[in-house]
Each structure stands twice: as C-alpha cells, then as structure tokens.
Amino acid sequence: MNTAGHGRTALITGASNGIGLELTRKMLAEGWQIIALNRSAFPEDDKLIRESVSKNQLRIYKADLAHFDSLRHALNQIKAAEERVDLLFNNAGGSLAELSFSKQKRELHFELHTVVPYIILMELKELLQRGTLKTVVNTSSYAFKFRKKFDPDELEHPTDFTMLYGSYAASKLALSLWSQEIAAVLADDGIKIFSVDPGGNNTIRKGKKSGIPFYLKPMIKLFFPHPRKGASLLYEAAMDVKREKSGVFFVNGQVTELKFIKHARKMLEKVSFIYRSEYAGDAKV
C-alpha cells in the first residue's frame, strides 16, 4: 500500500461524491487522515469509506456550506476536535440549472465557490499553520476562458442566467483571482495556495439536476474521463515537488495566466468584507 500520507491530515470539502469522493478514496488508500466537510452522506456501500470511518481515519462533519450558521457550527466543531490540517482542499460546489440564492441572499454559485472557500481558509488558518505542508488547493474551472467580460459588482446579484458559462464560470474566476491576490499575505504565515482546474470529468449523476447544458451531456458521458482524473490533478497540484509560485492557477497540470487579473484585488477585498461583516464580526484578516 502507498504510505505517502501517513502522519498527514487533509480536509476535503464536498468529499462525498464526484471528484471529492475520488480524492478522498485516493488519499485514504495512501494512509492520509481525512477530515470531510459535506452536506450529503457518503455512499453506504463503499467498503473503504466504512472501514476508514470505523478506524477514525475518516472523520465526517456535516454542513450546508452556503448557510453561514450551519458552516459556523461545523467549523467550530473541527477547530475543537482536530489538531492540524496539512492540506486543505476547497472542493465543494457544482453548476446549477437555474438562478438560485443562498440564505445570505447572494447568488449561490458566488456564495459557495467564491465566498465560502475564503471563510474556510480564514477560520482554519491556525490549523494549517500547525501542519507540515501548509497548502491550500481551491477547485476552480477554466470555463471562464470563454467569458468576454467580468464585473465583480454583478456577482452577488446577477440579472440573467446562463448555464455553466455564466455565474458558475464567473464565480470560479473570482475564486482564482482572490487566491492569486492573497498568496503574498499567506506567505507570511508559511502557507501556499493554488487554484486548480480539474478538467472535464464525467460527474453526471442520474436523477440529479445540474447546470450542464443538454447538448454537452452526451459528449460528457461518452468522452469525459472518470472523476479520478480530476482528483489526481488536484492532488498533484498540492504535492508538486517543484513547488510552483504560490497563487498560480493550474490547467491540466500547467500554470496558466488568469483573465481579468486587474480585478484580483477587488475580489479579495469583496470576500474579505463579507467574511468580516457577516461571518466573523470584527475579526482581523
């Protein structure tokens, strides 16, 4: 058995299905301790998951990540029970089929993909500082390469909706922008951060609505790889021995320039303001 993870702990959000589930399986098999932060339950028939829970190698915390009260409760539990985090994978999310809003009344893609990863990072920064790898990987997407414009002020309350290439793509771009901007600040604490496009993966689940346009679904089912591929790309970015410059964006394992980089500072200020004013009160960032 691969023992690369022995003595190390990773926290994975959205660990119970798709890419997150495959990443969890991969890392458990390598001996990692896994902290899973999910809204939904793990598959009941998964032997590795069951055995890992029974051995306390996999510890599960439940939350609706886009609901701040629920998120706060789960993060407080984690901070009280866990000693450290070596790797943080902000992976939870997906594309929605229609315009939706969070409990905080912001567009749901933006809340879940852009704001919540920042909150989790800030709240778990002390646990990261106690770890050895001190690395954060934010799951992004290169779907934003097709966007012709990007306005940070429209993210919270968009006036229209386009599947995949609209709010979803914009929220992922916003995530990568603030990830790049915050890198220098986190460096003072010895923490590295990357955003990673896990590529196209066949994550379609029967009976579950998604924001994937109907004309793409046959192509995805026929030609897109298993989510193990995306999980490997996230893991490889986290464990890259070359240690690329913190803050960079990876596409297919390669550092890729971000679009609309002039908005990076504003995106960091926006998520920081939401965190300070709505989640953490007067917390310093």
Evaluate whether residue 4 is within a structural domain: no
Q: Within a domain: residue 285?
A: no
Q: Check pLDDT > 80 for residue 158.
A: yes
CATH of the domain at 215: 3.40.50.720
Tell whether 1 is covered by a domain: no
| Inside any domain, residue 146 | yes
Residue 106 lies in a domain: yes
Q: What is the pLDDT of residue 9?
A: 98
The DSSP-derived string for 16-77 is TSHHHHHHHHHHHHTT-EEEEEESSPPPTT-HHHHHHHHTTSEEEEE--TTSHHHHHHHHHH
Domain-embedded: residue 2? no
The predicted-structure confidence for 55-70, as pLDDT tens digits, reads as follows 999 999 999 999 999 9
pLDDT tens string 8-31 = 999 999 999 999 999 999 999 999
For the chain, what is the domain count? 1
Q: Is residue 3 part of a domain?
A: no
Tokens of 8: 């190390």
Q: What is the DSSP letter of 156?
A: S
For residue 89, the surrounding DSSP H or E stretch is: strand 87-90
Residue 285 has a pLDDT of 45
Please state, in angstroms and rounded to a whole number, the distance separating the CA atoms of residues 272 and 267.
Answer: 8
In a domain, 248, yes or no: yes
Above 60 in pLDDT, residue 104? yes
Percent of the chain whose predicted confidence (pLDDT) is above 70: 87
Q: State the angle between helix axes of 68-81 and 116-123 in degrees (0 to 180), rounded to the nearest 10.
A: 30
The residue range of the domain holding 63 is 9-279
The pLDDT of residue 222: 54
